[in-house]
Amino acid sequence: MAKSTAFSFCHLVAYSAIIFSQLHAAKLEQQLQHQHQHQHRLQHGSNSKSNVSLFVFGDSYVDTGNWRKSTGISWKEPYGSTFPGKPAGRFSDGRVLTDYIASYIGIRPPIPYKWRKVVKKSYLEYGMNFAHGGTGVFDTMVSEPNMTTQIDFFQRLVEEKVLMKQHLQSSIALVSVAGNDYAAYVARNSNDLQKLGAFTEAIMDQLAINLKRIKGLGVKRIAVTLIEPIGCLPQQSASSSYKNCSEDWNSGCKFHNQLLEQTLKKLNDESNPPVFVTLDLFNAFFSALNRQRKHASGSMSMKNPLEPCCVGRVKGKYYCGSVDESGAKQYVICENPNLSLFWDEIHPSQSGWHAVYLALRSSLHKLI
C-alpha cells in the first residue's frame, strides 16, 4: 500500500509540474503578445515586416528579462510600472534600449534566452537576447553570465541548429557592456586607480576576442555602444546633490570610448566588408540631459535631469524596489516618471531611453 501511495504521489507531482510548465508557457505567450501589441504603437515608420534578426549581448541597459525572478530587482515592483504595467525583467519603469532598437529595424524585441524553451519557435525569427543585468566583459560583482558565457550560449544554439541559417543571414548584434566592469574594478581596487588605464586596455583585448566570435558565428552587422557618461548617473551625481556630473568619471569614459573606436576600426580593417559600427551613447546621454535641462528651466513640473525618480528611503541601506523584513516598501517614486530622465541610480526611465533613442536615431541607418 505504501508503495502504491508513493507511486501515485510521484505521478501527481510529475503531472503537476507538467501543468505548471504549460501554464507558465501560456503566461509568457500572453506577455509576449501584450508586449507585441504595444510594440506596434512604438513603431517609428520602420518596416514592420523586416526579416532582420537581432541578437543582444551585455548588461542591464539591454536586458529584457534574463535575470532570475527570485533575485532580480527587475522582477520586483515598481519596475515595469509604466510598461507593461508590472515587473517584466527590465531595469526601468518601462522600455529599454533593446526595445527601441528593435522598433527601429521593424521587429518585436527578441525573446530573452531564459524563455527560449517555453515560447513558440516562430519567436526565434526576431533573434534572441542573451544580456544579463549587472554583467560585464569580465566577471563582475554578480554571479550572472559575463559576455564570454553569453556568446557560449549563442554558439551552442547555433551548433544545435536551434538558430538556423535564416536567422543569421540578415542579422544584427547589439552589444552594450563595460560599465559594470569599471564598477567592479573600483569596488575591488579602491586604492589603486592608477592601473585603471591598463584595465581599460584589458577590456578592449577581451572585447575584440568576443566580437570576433560573434562575427564568426555568422552575424552580419555588430553594433557596439560607446559607454555612457558614468559621471552623470545619479549614483555619481548624488554627491553634489544631483547638480553636477563627475568629470573624473566622464574623462575615464572618454578614454574608454577612444580605445573602443580604435579597436573597432582595427577589426573593420580586418573585415571585408566592414561589420562593426558604434552607437554613441555618450553623446546621446548628454543630448538627452541638455534637452531635459532646457525643458526643466521653463517648467515647474520637470525634474532635475540628474535626479532619479525612484530611490530608497534610507540612502545606502535601501534602493528602488527595496522592502523591509515585513514586506513594507522602503522606496519612494516621483509623481510622474515620464518627466524624469533617470528611473533609479543607474538606469534611465522609459522616457529617458526614448530621449536617448531620439538622439541616436539619425545614426541608426548604419545598422541596416
Question: Catalytic amino acids?
Answer: 60, 344, 347
Q: Which residue has the cell 577581451?
A: 206
Query: What torsion do the CA atoms of 270, 137, 252, 306 make, to the nearest 10 degrees?
Result: 120
CB burial class (10 A; 0-12, 13-18, 19+) of residue 198?
Answer: exposed
Dist. CA 85–CA 100, nearest whole Å: 18
Dist. CA 337–CA 320, nearest whole Å: 13
Dist. CA 259–CA 252, nearest whole Å: 11
Which residues sit opposite 128 in a β-bridge?
55, 111
- The C-alpha cell that represents 31 in the structure block: 506577455
Q: CA nearest 147: which of 208, 196, 86?
A: 208
**Would you say 176 and 61 are in contact if contact means Cβ atoms under 8 Å apart?**
yes
Helix, strand, or coil (residue 110): coil
In sequence order, what are the residues at sequence separation of 6 or more whose Cβ sits closer than 8 angstroms to the Cβ of residue 100? 42, 353, 354, 357
